[in-house]
Structure 1
Amino acid sequence: MLGGCTVGSNFERPAAPGTTNYVSPGESASVRGAGPVAVAGAGPALHWWTAFGSPRLDELVDQAIAHNASLEASNATLAAAREQVNAARGRQLPQVGVNGRVEHEQVNLAAFGFDNPSGNPEFTLYSIGGGVSYDLDLFGGNRRRVEKAAAQAETQLRQTEAAHLTIAGQVVNQVLLIAAIQARIATAQTLLAEDQRNVDLTQKRQRAGEGTLVEVLNAQSQLENDRGDLPQLGQQLAEARHLLATLVGIPPSELGLTDFDMDRLTLPTQVPVTLPSELVHKRPDILQAEAQLHAATANVGIATAQLYPSITLGATATQGAPDLGDVLGSAFRGFDLFAGLAAPIFHGGTLKAERRAAIDQARAADATYRQTVLDAFRQVADLLKAIDSDNRSVANQQEAVSVAQRSLGLSRRSFEVGNSGILQVLESERLYQRATSNLVEARARQFLNVARLYVATAGGWIGQPALAQR
């Protein structure tokens, strides 16, 4: 009966939201042309990155999960949190200890009022003993401490899951970024070939007496200006590779080939999106906020229990003798049975203030949880709209490239027959360059936003059984 008395409110898991959509009906996506479509349901599969169809990408994610130093630190912190739960549970059981002691001493008889002409006695004492104590935990303070420790371990578990999910997402993002940069480099090299073709045409016309040196210089100027973009793209590619190596836990020199091509990557036609009512039970940051709310609720019980009395039962037994051979003899045995009561009388309002602070902290944790849910829903809503916008943008840019390419062809033929100057060709080429660059950017953004949507709705990380242990 006493064991069933636990003060403080029991934690109740927050109810799932009643909303069924991330965006309002007026914002519902209307897909134009080919592109990924979000499909509401159970959410992404466990290894969601395989949807991009790149074995090398899959290999890099697995390598990051196995060797990323930040994940190793998070895993170790999780193991420590679980041991803290075991430690808290251990304090609920009877505490048993033994002790042994050897001491050599001289007794000062004069301090006790005795007159001993022969001097104070000096002797050696051998003793061995043990004791047991047990806190009845009348009001459940220890039980709430175990509950709090378990909730804190749950917090660390969810944080570790979030770390795994984040690292996987970062690896995928870096791979997609590398593919995008390499697409920009390929586009730049194609444009340089077009620039060189313009230079050759103007030089040919000059030699034939149909062109001027100004036209040649204009074409050469465009070539050199466009050539200046390549070093910056090369630097961006190197930095992206170096960060990818860091994520997978190796030096940049050991990364190996990263010849990712957007044309060889698969853009998923359907992206499974977790329903709002399920997202709150899957997404690690929401589950982490929920566990923090649980710990704060248990802390209110701990602070409340400190306002009430506590009773401790115990016993000790000691064997002590001046000769080692007599230390276990019954004549040298002593024991003690005790029961202790401790109750707070006056602490200057400290205990009540601590309870009020715990209640305020629980309120703060509840508000943080609700804000985390709203932030998660906003993030998913933003990405759903971004995917729709990306589909439109890619379709528009593909049309722009087609028109600019036809315009460039016509301008060049007009220049070759002498109907227009080189400036018109260069202007058409700049429009074509801008259109092709915008298309590459739109496609890269499309890939990245799909990956971000996978991360935003992927739920927890259950790829490593060790993380799911309780």
Structure 2
Amino acid sequence: MRLALLILASATLAGCTVGPDFQRPATPTPENYRGATERQEPVAGTPQATLGIGPQARWWQAFGSPELDALVDRAMLHNQTLAASDATLAAAAHDARAIAGKRLPQIDASARVEQQQANLATFGFSSSSLGLAGNPDFHLYSVGGGISYDLDLFGGVRRQVEQARAQAEAQQRRTEAAHLTVAGQVVNQVLSIAAIRAQISTAEMLLQEDQRNLDLTQKRKQAGEGTLVEVLNAQSQYVADQGDIPQFYQQLEEARHLLAVLVGVSPSELGVTEFDLSKLVLTPGIPVTLPSELVHKRPDILQAEANLHAATAEIGIATARMYPDISLGATLSQAGPAISDLVTNSFRGYDLFAGLTAPIFHGGTLKAQRAAAVSRAQAAAATYQQTVLEAFQQVADLLSALQHDAQSVATQAQSVAVAQHSLQLSRRSFQVGNSGILQVLDSERLYQRASSNLVLARSRQYLNVARLYVATAGGWTR
């Protein structure tokens, strides 16, 4: 009866869980990412951000390239970094289930076979006095089992389960972020390949202009109207521009090799990657997640929130160690000198027990552990706030880049048109003898610089659009 009352009283206390309950951080309230005083004049005919629910799950499809979509799908299936992240996520889920198992009764079974020799002298007897030739040998067979249960009076185990699940959620968010990052890296590499191929195309076009200048100077020299110096100047420009092209091809091959690693294959298995920047789509409207929704969508913010949850649960774990704990249990054993004795009641034994452990003096260790847990929770809260601020900053930067890139592309396009016209006039003036070859070469250098800058501006625009998608997209789900 006393044992039953103890169990009842302990079960009543078992509903107590010490430590603070996790409260989800308050949602930020800003309606926009950028300040009202910042320049926000849109450029007609260029991509514009639209605040709303944000990009779709497969946001890379907005670029309108089935080949790009196929590469992202291959990366999601075969990227080794993602495979490691998926396995780590599975391990975290198993760890959480393992800790949750502590809340249930722990049952064990045992069986044992022994051969023993009794030392009669230990008990004050001699073998001869008992008519034995020596110490007797005998066999002992035993089977049994036990059950134990931690009442978890102050919720220490419950907090451990809560912490483990929060840590598993943090790993899940980390895995989602890894998938999102790899998808973004694949898109960036594809855009880089397309940009480098555009640079190669521009360099080869300029090389053709160099060849025209060289042919023109040679014809003028043969006609007696030009000089060898003019021919050598044109030839020097041709050779210098020709030397830039191998470096572009080196960059192109390195970009392909990195893309192969992201996709999870060797460079020789990657296949054709002839992406054309002009054939990729820039949609006029780019959906961007509202600030109030971004904190519930971005994997890095959700991971920081889960880390804060785990740190909050750790305070409860440390607090529970400062209070008493009661465990209940029972054992049943059956032992005898013969196997047939294992079913005989006379060889059966059992016990029921209740154990109490209570901290008395630990030199301040338990209080220090709790104080450390509180400090770690404060650090996790600050990290969460910092993660949110950095996310807002990243989106604000990319929104500014979206506007400025459009302005830059428009300006560079005008610069190319002016430089091309100037080159045409300079070459015509040289043909009729009104100017020298140096003026033509200067005009060509301006045209070359403007053409290269236009390619870089367009490439940067595509890359920043992709980064904006990644910055406001949610985690990957299979």
State the TM bucket, normalised to the shorter chain: over 0.9
Q: 1:335: which partner in 2?
A: 350
The answer to whether the aligner puts 1:124 opposite 2:166 as a matched pair is no
Query: What is the alpha-carbon distance in structure 1 between the residues aligned to residue 398 and residue 437 of structure 2?
Result: 44
Q: 2:443: which partner in 1?
A: 428
The answer to whether the aligner puts 1:48 opposite 2:63 as a matched pair is no
Matches within 5 A, 1:149-164: 149-164=164-179
Q: 2:23: which partner in 1?
A: 12
Q: Secondary structure at the match of 2:112?
A: strand
Q: 2:461: which partner in 1?
A: 446
Q: CA deviation at 1:428?
A: 0.2
Amino acid in structure 1 at the alignment position of 2:45:
A
How many percent identity over aligned positions?
A: 67
Amino acid in structure 1 at the alignment position of 2:113:
V
Q: 2:294: which partner in 1?
A: 279
Q: CA deviation at 1:78?
A: 0.5
Q: 1:101: which partner in 2?
A: 112
Q: Secondary structure at the match of 2:447?
A: helix
Q: 2:183: which partner in 1?
A: 168
CA contact 1:33–1:395 (8 Å) conserved in 2: no
Report Cα offsets for 1:152-196 as digits up to 9, x if no partner.
000000000000000000000000000000000000000000000
Amino acid in structure 2 at the alignment position of 1:281:
H
Report Cα offsets for 1:238-258 as digits up to 9, x if no partner.
000000000000000011111
Q: Secondary structure at the match of 1:297?
A: helix
Q: 2:385: which partner in 1?
A: 370
Query: What is the alpha-carbon distance in structure 1 between the residues aligned to residue 122 and residue 417 of structure 2?
Result: 109
Q: 1:392: which partner in 2?
A: 407
Query: What is the alpha-carbon distance in structure 1 between the residues aligned to residue 159 and residue 290 of structure 2?
Result: 34
Q: 1:359: which partner in 2?
A: 374
The answer to whether the aligner puts 1:194 opposite 2:187 as a matched pair is no
Query: What is the alpha-carbon distance in structure 2 between the residues aligned to residue 263 and residue 296 of structure 1?
Result: 50
Matches within 5 A, 1:134-283: 134-283=149-298
Query: What is the alpha-carbon distance in structure 2 between the residues aligned to residue 413 and residue 107 of structure 1?
Result: 120
Q: Secondary structure at the match of 1:4?
A: coil
Q: Which of 316, 340, 353 is 1:325 aligned to?
A: 340
Q: Secondary structure at the match of 1:6?
A: coil
Q: CA deviation at 1:107?
A: 2.1
Q: Which of 88, 106, 113 is 1:77 aligned to?
A: 88
CA contact 1:310–1:342 (8 Å) conserved in 2: yes
The answer to whether the aligner puts 1:289 opposite 2:300 as a matched pair is no
Query: What is the alpha-carbon distance in structure 2 between the residues aligned to residue 224 and residue 397 of structure 1?
Result: 26
Normalized against structure 1, the TM-score is what? 0.97
Q: 1:115: which partner in 2?
A: 126
Report Cα offsets for 1:356-389 as digits up to 9, x if no partner.
1101100010010000000100011111111111
Amino acid in structure 2 at the alignment position of 1:79:
A
Report Cα offsets for 1:78-99 as digits up to 9, x if no partner.
1111111111111100001101
The answer to whether the aligner puts 1:402 opposite 2:417 as a matched pair is yes
Query: What is the alpha-carbon distance in structure 2 between the residues aligned to residue 126 and residue 158 of structure 1?
Result: 53
In the comparison of the two structures, how many residue pairs are matched?
463
Q: Secondary structure at the match of 2:278?
A: coil
Report Cα offsets for 1:220-262 as digits up to 9, x if no partner.
0000000000110010000000000000000000111111001
Q: Secondary structure at the match of 2:277?
A: coil
CA contact 1:33–1:392 (8 Å) conserved in 2: no
Q: 1:468: which partner in 2?
A: none
Report Cα offsets for 1:306-352 as digits up to 9, x if no partner.
00000001000001011112222111100010000000111111111
Q: Secondary structure at the match of 1:256?
A: coil
Q: 1:86: which partner in 2?
A: 97
Amino acid in structure 1 at the alignment position of 2:272:
L
Q: CA deviation at 1:106?
A: 1.3
Query: What is the alpha-carbon distance in structure 2 between the residues aligned to residue 281 and residue 120 of structure 1?
Result: 77
Amino acid in structure 2 at the alignment position of 1:280:
V
Q: CA deviation at 1:409?
A: 0.3
Amino acid in structure 1 at the alignment position of 2:196:
I
Query: What is the alpha-carbon distance in structure 2 between the residues aligned to residue 2 and residue 147 of structure 1?
Result: 19
Q: CA deviation at 1:28?
A: 4.8
Q: CA deviation at 1:108?
A: 1.9
Q: Secondary structure at the match of 1:263?
A: helix
Gaps of 5+ in 1: 465-470
Q: 1:348: which partner in 2?
A: 363
Q: Secondary structure at the match of 1:18?
A: coil
Query: What is the alpha-carbon distance in structure 2 between the residues aligned to residue 137 and residue 17 of structure 1?
Result: 37
Q: Secondary structure at the match of 2:168?
A: helix
Query: What is the alpha-carbon distance in structure 2 between the residues aligned to residue 277 and residue 4 of structure 1?
Result: 36
- The farther-off stretch of 29-38 and 10-19 is 29-38
Q: Secondary structure at the match of 2:17?
A: coil
Amino acid in structure 2 at the alignment position of 1:67:
H
Q: CA deviation at 1:67?
A: 0.5
Q: CA deviation at 1:461?
A: 1.9
CA contact 1:311–1:342 (8 Å) conserved in 2: yes
Q: CA deviation at 1:115?
A: 3.3
Q: CA deviation at 1:219?
A: 0.3
CA contact 1:71–1:163 (8 Å) conserved in 2: yes
Q: 2:73: which partner in 1?
A: 62
Amino acid in structure 2 at the alignment position of 1:39:
T
Query: What is the alpha-carbon distance in structure 1 between the residues aligned to residue 391 and residue 123 of structure 2?
Result: 76
Q: Secondary structure at the match of 1:439?
A: helix
Q: Secondary structure at the match of 1:345?
A: coil
The answer to whether the aligner puts 1:34 opposite 2:45 as a matched pair is yes
Q: Secondary structure at the match of 2:351?
A: strand
Q: Secondary structure at the match of 2:146?
A: strand
Amino acid in structure 1 at the alignment position of 2:57:
L
Normalized against structure 2, the TM-score is what? 0.96
Amino acid in structure 2 at the alignment position of 1:88:
I
